[in-house]
Structure 1
Amino acid sequence: MFNFKPNPIKTTENILNVHSIESFGTHDGPGIRMIVFLQGCKLKCLYCHNPDSIDTSGGQEYHIEDLVQKAIKMKAYFGKKGGVTVSGGEPLLQAKALIPFFKRLKEEGIHTNIDTNGRILNHFSTELLDDYADLIMLDIKHMTEEGYIALTGKPNKQIAFNLAKHREDSGKNMWLRYVLIPELTDSPDLLHALGNHFKDYKSIEKIEIQPYHKLGIHKWEALGWDYELKDARENTDEELQKASDILSRYFKKVKLN
C-alpha cells in the first residue's frame, strides 16, 4: 500500500507572507541563522535597504511547517547559538501566524529571534514576545518625535519604547540596533539621550551600531521611488568610534556592524 500523507490544510493562521529567505546569516542574531524576511511594513524609512518588502500585498505565501522543515535541515549548522531570525519588512504585522511558527521551532529546540521596529504592541505580539521569542532585536529609529517622523514617515516613536519596556518587564533578552546617519542620528546629544533612556535596562545584552550605507538605492530606483538620502555621506571611522565610545558609557557591549 502507498503511504499517502496529505498536505496540511492552509489557513491564515498557518501561512506567512515571505519576502525572502537567507540561509547561513551571521549578522541577524547570535551564531549562524536562517533568516526569514517577511513582507509588509507600516513604516517607510528613508534608509530602508529592502523597500520592496514594504508593500503588504507583495511576497510569497509559505506554509509554517515548510519553513520549520527548512530550519530543521539547517539545525546541524546552528550549533548552540544559532537558530531562526524573523525580520522584514516588519514581522510583528504577522504576529498571529508567527506564534505557531515559533512554537514549532521551540518544540524542535531551535533558538528564535525577532528583528523588529517595535511599532506593534497588541495581544498577538505580546504573546509571541513573552512566550516564544528567545531574543528580540529592537531598531531604535530616533530619540526625538520630529526626527522619528522625518525618518520613518509615521508619528509616535513612543510605541517602540513601550515595547522595549514590555520586554524589559518580561525579563527576556533584547538587543538594540541604531542606524548612525551623519547629521541625522549621530549627534552626541542624541547618543547620550539613547544611552540615558536605556541605561537601567537589565534585559539589554548589547547595542549594535549600524553604519549608514546606500546599498538599497537601486531598489528604490527600480520601484520608481525617490531616495531622499542620496546626498548623505557614509560614516568616517572616527565618527563610528566616537559613537561607540559614547554608547559604551551606558551599555555593557557595543558592536559596530
Structure 2
Amino acid sequence: MKAVTTGRIHSWDLSTGVDGPGTRFVLFVSGCSLRCLYCANPDTWHMRDGRETTVDEVMAEIEKYRAFITTAGGGVTITGGEPLLQPAFTGEVLRRCREAGLRTALDTSGFLGARATDELLADTDLVLLDIKAFDVGTYRKLTGGRLAPTLNFATRLNRIGVPMWIRYVLVPGWTGDPSAIDALAGFVAGLEAVERVDVLPFHKLGASKYEALGIPFPLKDTPTPELELVERVRDQFRGQGLKVY
C-alpha cells in the first residue's frame, strides 16, 4: 500500500495578482526556520501549531475552485511559513497540481533551497523568491539566518531555467541602503530567469497577531516607508533593466 503523504498547514485563501499571475489558490503551510523581524505571520512559525492534513484533502479543496482559478489565468501557490521545511508534502502537492493541469508557484525565502529536489522544481512553474537583504550582516540581524543559501538557490533556479519573481521588502533603517540595493540589483540582473522584481513596502498589518500570541513585535516603532523612498528603490532596480511592479 502506498504511504499517505501528510503535512501541517495553517490555512488557505484566494488572492489575485499578489501570489503569482492571475487568481491563485494559496496554501499556507506551517513552520519556518527564519524569524524575520517584519514577519506578518508569526502564527505560521511552528509546525506544531498547524493542522495535519493529507495531500488528497488539499487537492479536494483545490478542486472546488478549479474553474474559478483557471478561468482567471491563475493557479496554485504554496507559501507559509516556509514550504521547503516540508519538502515531501510540498513536492507532492506541486506534482499533483501539475498532473491536474494547474499552474504552480512556490513562495520561499530560499534559505532551505537545498531541500528542493530537482523533481520538486520540475513541477514548479514559478518561484517567488524572497531576498530579505543583500548585506550579510543585515540579513543575519533581520532574519536570524544566512544569506548564502538564498543566493545559491537563486543561481540554481537560473541554471535550470525556473522562472522567478524576486520579492524585496523595503524596511526603513534596515533594507533601504542604496549601495546594498545596487549590489542586489546587479546580482538579480544577472539572472536571466528573473521575470520581475516586487519592491514591497514594510507594513504592520500583522501587529495584532503578535499581540494575540503575547509576542512583542520587534519593529512596532519602525515607520512604513515613504513613497519617495519606495520609488527610489524601485528605480534602482529599473536602472539595471529589471521589470519592477
TM-score, L = length of structure 1: 0.90
Correspondence 1:248 to 2:238:
yes
Correspondence 1:193 to 2:216:
no
Q: Give the alignment of 1:3-152 within 5 angstroms.
A: 11=4, 14-78=5-69, 79=71, 81-122=73-114, 124-152=115-143
Say if 1:177 and 1:209, in contact at 8 Å, map to a contact too.
yes
Deviations 1:77-109 (A, max 9, x none): 223630000000000111112222111111110
Match of 1:165 in 2: 155
Match of 2:172 in 1: 182
Q: Which one-letter code corresponds to 1:117 in the other structure?
A: S
Match of 1:231 in 2: 221
Cα distance in 2, alignment partners of residues 176 and 92 from structure 1: 17
Cα distance in 2, alignment partners of residues 251 and 30 from structure 1: 21
Say if 1:18 and 1:37, in contact at 8 Å, map to a contact too.
yes
Bigger shift: residues 195-204 or 66-75: 66-75
Q: Which one-letter code corresponds to 2:173 in the other structure?
A: E
Deviation at 1:179, TM superposition (A): 0.3
- Where has structure 1 moved over 6 Å in runs of 4 or more? none
Structure 2: stretches of 5+ with no match in the other structure: none
Q: Which one-letter code corresponds to 2:202 in the other structure?
A: Y
Judging changes above 3 Å, is the alpha-carbon distance between structure 1 residues 200 and 86 closer, same or farther for their aligned structure 2 residues? same
How many residues in Structure 1 have an aligned counterpart in Structure 2?
Answer: 244
- Secondary structure at the residue paired with 2:90? helix
Cα distance in 1, alignment partners of residues 161 and 2 from structure 2: 36
Correspondence for 1:221 among 188, 201, 211: 211
Say if 1:10 and 1:63, in contact at 8 Å, map to a contact too.
no
Deviations 1:178-232 (A, max 9, x none): 0001121012112101111121211000010110101111111222222121111
CA RMSD in angstroms comes to: 1.7
Say if 1:207 and 1:251, in contact at 8 Å, map to a contact too.
no
Q: Which one-letter code corresponds to 1:116 in the other structure?
A: T
Deviation at 1:241, TM superposition (A): 1.1
User: Which structure's CA Rg is the greater one?
Assistant: 1
Q: Which one-letter code corresponds to 1:138 in the other structure?
A: L
Say if 2:189 and 2:242, in contact at 8 Å, map to a contact too.
no
Match of 1:3 in 2: none
- Secondary structure at the residue paired with 1:254? coil
Say if 2:21 and 2:73, in contact at 8 Å, map to a contact too.
yes
Say if 2:79 and 2:106, in contact at 8 Å, map to a contact too.
yes
Cα distance in 2, alignment partners of residues 81 and 26 from structure 1: 10
Deviation at 1:75, TM superposition (A): 1.6
Cα distance in 1, alignment partners of residues 164 and 17 from structure 2: 17
Structure 1: stretches of 5+ with no match in the other structure: 1-7
Cα distance in 2, alignment partners of residues 80 and 105 from structure 1: 16
Judging changes above 3 Å, is the alpha-carbon distance between structure 1 residues 149 and 28 closer, same or farther for their aligned structure 2 residues? same
Cα distance in 2, alignment partners of residues 60 and 45 from structure 1: 23
Cα distance in 2, alignment partners of residues 221 and 149 from structure 1: 25
